[in-house]
Structure 1
């Protein structure tokens, strides 16, 4: 068990941590990246403020919510309005807006290393930055996929064409009824392939990615591994944070590095083999 006492960046010099992380990246036999929402936030994918207001001002005026997440859970009166909102949401976060360079900097740091990425992010930015899709495990879904809302079967469907049509053809916060997606098997409305409850579909691609990640861990067990955690919060610690702590504790050659603005810490049990940098991820990657 890990104690609750945290070791934070206040106990270490920032530049020393940067230099030590550089050395670890150079010498590691493998780099396992764990990426959370903080990485995409650093890359410019903010869900509040000007970016939200520029794209959803009409929804804000009618319903009053002030961030994309709130709108995503709103019980709209019709599927036409529901998909008008969600198509914009998906379009800007998956298909239109670009990384400000943060993901690309990360790729340049690890592209020549033996790496693997475990992420709860669903915005596809890793592949856009050049990461090998066979070295990625998106555990929580993908904005680019539909699934049956029931779900009646374990399959997902690419949505780019219909999402672009929804964005282009919507008026007065509604899409044409003919664009509403329905399951080709049971006829129920489709929904997003995002893990929110027990209806989340883990399709064949999800299981293949899970197997590749498990195989990567097996092949590098006991080796000089850098567990690089980027922007992972405490909402779902059992996916990345706790396993990274546990694997670091079990492997005396492993090091845990956490870069997270406002939430950079490690348990005391692995403090001597941990680096915690409380700063903007993009700025740190630039220095690395």
Structure 2
């Protein structure tokens, strides 16, 4: 059974503000809903602005579908993905939600675990040593096989693909190849067993685990933003379990329509339903 609160109230604000002020540490768990609130939407006007030609030719109507489309050639595949990466990794979000959130927590001892792969936390000023991107990064290539557990920064290659593509194709010479084995590159995104967890991934995982151990049984705020149920075992369920286990912990969930918690931690939870950009704006102005 779940406890669900329908709307934001002044009491919610006061509780969250007081809990944050009192907390020895804040564990931030972020999902796709946070980036969506910041304007990184994958359909509608934004999709049409950048991909209307692909939509007309291939018949899909959102960026996710385009990412899974079986393009007949790598020249077409990378024409699509280079645009996708450019606007969702290297350009700024339309709304300053991440920047507002950073002002909210920057003076606290915090750590971020996120399933997002768009690098928005670091662009907003969060310390990269306090970030764990569990599912990869749009800014990294890996071998498609993979022949080794290495990743490679892709910004220069992506920018060239975007600048030089024509008729929804890049030239064959721009197709990224693994520098070790020569096979085509792939995105460093967790989609199957080929996902590469490089040295940086393991270092971030260890820093996260050390942070959890260091603050075990302290006054800790588990602050979840925009996490859905695609991969609840990464953030949501562990946050619930750690809140239940720690008598000094509080669980806070900000989500547009899915701010819930188990009945078992209801008295230790703050669930705020609504658009995250509106909620953070409210906190920033207060």
Q: Equivalent residue of 1:211, what SS?
A: helix
| Of 155, 163, 167, the match for 2:162 | 167
Is 2:228 the counterpart of 1:233? yes
Name the CA shift for 1:76/1:13 in 2 (closer, same or farther; >3 Å). Answer: closer
Q: CA deviation at 1:80?
A: 0.2
| Of 2, 6, 15, the match for 1:6 | 2
Name the residue aligned to 1:252. 247
Name the residue aligned to 1:107. 102
Is 2:114 the counterpart of 1:156? no
Name the residue aligned to 1:224. 219
Per-residue deviation, residues 202-256 of structure 1 (Å, max 9, x unmatched): 0000000000000000000000000000000001000000000000000010000
Which runs of 5 or more residues in structure 2 are unaligned? none
TM-score by length of 1: 0.97
Q: CA deviation at 1:13?
A: 6.1
Name the CA shift for 1:207/1:150 in 2 (closer, same or farther; >3 Å). Answer: same
Q: Which moved further from structure 2: 166-175 or 13-22? A: 13-22
Structure 2: how far apart are the matches of 1:214 and 1:99?
Answer: 33
| Of 122, 138, 145, the match for 2:140 | 145
Q: CA deviation at 1:14?
A: 2.1
Structure 1: how far apart are the matches of 2:266 and 2:99?
Answer: 29
| Of 24, 31, 36, the match for 1:41 | 36
1:121-200 alignment, distance < 5 Å: 121-200=116-195
Name the residue aligned to 1:67. 62
Q: Equivalent residue of 1:210, what SS?
A: helix
Q: Equivalent residue of 1:184, what SS?
A: coil
Q: Equivalent residue of 2:216, what SS?
A: coil
Structure 2: how far apart are the matches of 1:285 and 1:75?
Answer: 39
Q: Equivalent residue of 2:102, what SS?
A: helix
TM-score by length of 2: 0.98
Q: Equivalent residue of 1:168, what SS?
A: helix
Q: CA deviation at 1:97?
A: 3.5
User: How many pairs does the alignment contain?
Assistant: 283
1:99/1:125 contact within 8 Å kept: no
